[in-house]
Structure 1
Amino acid sequence: MTPSRFNVSPEWGLVMVTALWGSSFILLSLSLKGLSPGLLVALRFGGGAVLMACLLRSALFKLKKVDWIAGCATGTCIFLGYFLQTVGLQTITSSISAFLTALYVPFVP
């Protein structure tokens, strides 16, 4: 492996990802001033679906029925989680929402 000019330590990578993740709560909170929670989450998921369909279009034709069912079930659960979290952002601050969401880290193990 050749050394890269952009050699970033794993710790700084985590800091950057955390900053992006944390800023998403602020952006969601600001977006809710002009959009309903359902429309906002639908736009996010719709945009992601279109992007992934464009990037992986050849793989989509190779999927079996069971793959589509599992993917739709997983996507529905994630959609509902994001939707409920976005509805919650209408009544609590983005910092509290981020804190409650981050509690999955110690609770999962």
Structure 2
Amino acid sequence: MTQYLYTPASSQEHVAAPEIRHALRTATRAHRRLEDEFEPFGWTERCDLAAELRDMLDETPVELRGLVLAAEFMLESEGYTFDGWEERLHASNLISAVISGLHQIGGDAR
């Protein structure tokens, strides 16, 4: 005999659009790289990460694009050295806000 379990709609997994899932993966990867103290973070790494964020813009909802652009600007600007934790933390917090927004827009996509 087969038993069927009732799962309330509020606890069912929300399936987000593929674009949101891809943007979420990219943002999470960028966030980890910014917060990893052992990650080399020279000019080349900064430009590579900025390029990843730029590629993510098409998949990012309009409301979050300003945050992505701000982090990208910090990474590509020579005005930021990323020598200390303050600048890395600021960029990381911008990406963290993007991740939070993507979760709100697309549900708990993983």
Length-normalised TM-score, structure 1: 0.33
Q: Which is richer in helix?
A: 1
